[in-house]
Amino acid sequence: MNARWSILLWATMAMAVPELEAFTESPELHRQVEAGQLPPIDHRLPEAPLVITPVEKPGEYGGTWRMALVGYDNS
């Protein structure tokens, strides 16, 4: 993905949402908050966080990250 396309994607999908009732976090981060390893989500977020509006629906936590390196020579 080139830089222009990336900037266009962020510009069309991102918007600042000044007031939301509640934020959610991943199950793993929630476990860390419960264990006292992280502060609560209200203390970790800025006053007006940047929120990405999903095109279809919000995603699901978990999955497999797959990637390939193209054009990298390790010799």
Q: What are phi and psi of 32, to 5 degrees?
A: -70, -35
Whole-angstrom distance, CA of residue 43 vs CA of residue 41:
5
Residue 31 phi/psi, 5° resolution? -65, -40
Closest CA to 9 of 19, 1, 17: 1
Which tens digit of pLDDT belongs to each residue from 23-69? 788 889 999 999 999 999 889 988 888 888 888 887 777 888 888 77
pTM metric for this prediction: 0.47
Domain ranges for the chain, please list them.
Answer: 3-52
Half-sphere exposure of 69 (CA within 13 A, CB side): 4
Q: In whole angstroms, what is the distance from residue 59 CA to residue 56 CA?
A: 9
